[in-house]
Amino acid sequence: MPSYRIREAAQLLGVSDDTIRRWADAGRLPAGTEQGRLTIDGAALAEFARTQAEAADRPEVGTIGGASARNQLVGLVTRVLRDTVMAQVELQAGPFRIVSLMSREAADELALEPGSLAIASVKATNVVIEVPAQ
């Protein structure tokens, strides 16, 4: 299992290097040492990220009647580009930028504008997972 330097772990979690160090010092995030540098085990970092996401305060958006998609990201609309037929909507959900293409009619009916609170529901038959080159 890979391990990550403090800076890398901070970038992956979207926090500062100092926050990672404080969490490690407090025992919230297990850390080790490799070649004299503080590192975080990849499996421990993944588990920590998962538990942090579960415990995160999510904005209250009301009740959804039902949905088949299991991957829902609450975020803020940052950009809406409309033409006569289609609309491109950008949503910032934490550190993630989600881009959706929809009919202009749908964007208008949802009154999507920059600053609107929205939920991106992701349901895909094909999900591509890649790993960085080493």
Q: So what's the architecture of 3-55 in CATH? A: Orthogonal Bundle (1.10)
CATH number of the domain located at residue range(s) 71-122 in this protein: 2.40.50.100
Buried b (16+ CB within 10 A) or exposed e, 86-106: ebebbbeeeeeebebeeeeee
Nearest to residue 74, comparing CAs of 51, 48, 92, 101? 92
Q: Report angle CA 94, 70, 50 to the nearest 5 degrees.
A: 50
Going from N- to C-terminal start, the domains of the chain cover: 3-55, 71-122
Same fold, 3-55 and 71-122: no
Q: Is the dihedral of CA 17, 50, 25, 36 positive or negative?
A: negative
On the question of pLDDT at 5 being above 80, the answer is yes
Nearest to 11 by CA among 20, 1, 23: 20
pLDDT (mean) for 22-29 = 92
- Span 34-71, pLDDT tens digits: 888 889 988 888 888 878 776 666 666 666 666 666 67
> What average pLDDT does range 20-27 have in this prediction?
92
Give 72-109 pLDDT, tens digit per residue: 888 888 899 999 999 999 988 878 888 999 999 999 99
Q: Average pLDDT for residues 7-17, to the nearest whole number?
A: 87
Question: What contacts 24+ positions apart, CB below 8 Å, involve 15-18?
Answer: none
Q: Per the confidence metrics, is the pTM higher than 0.85?
A: no
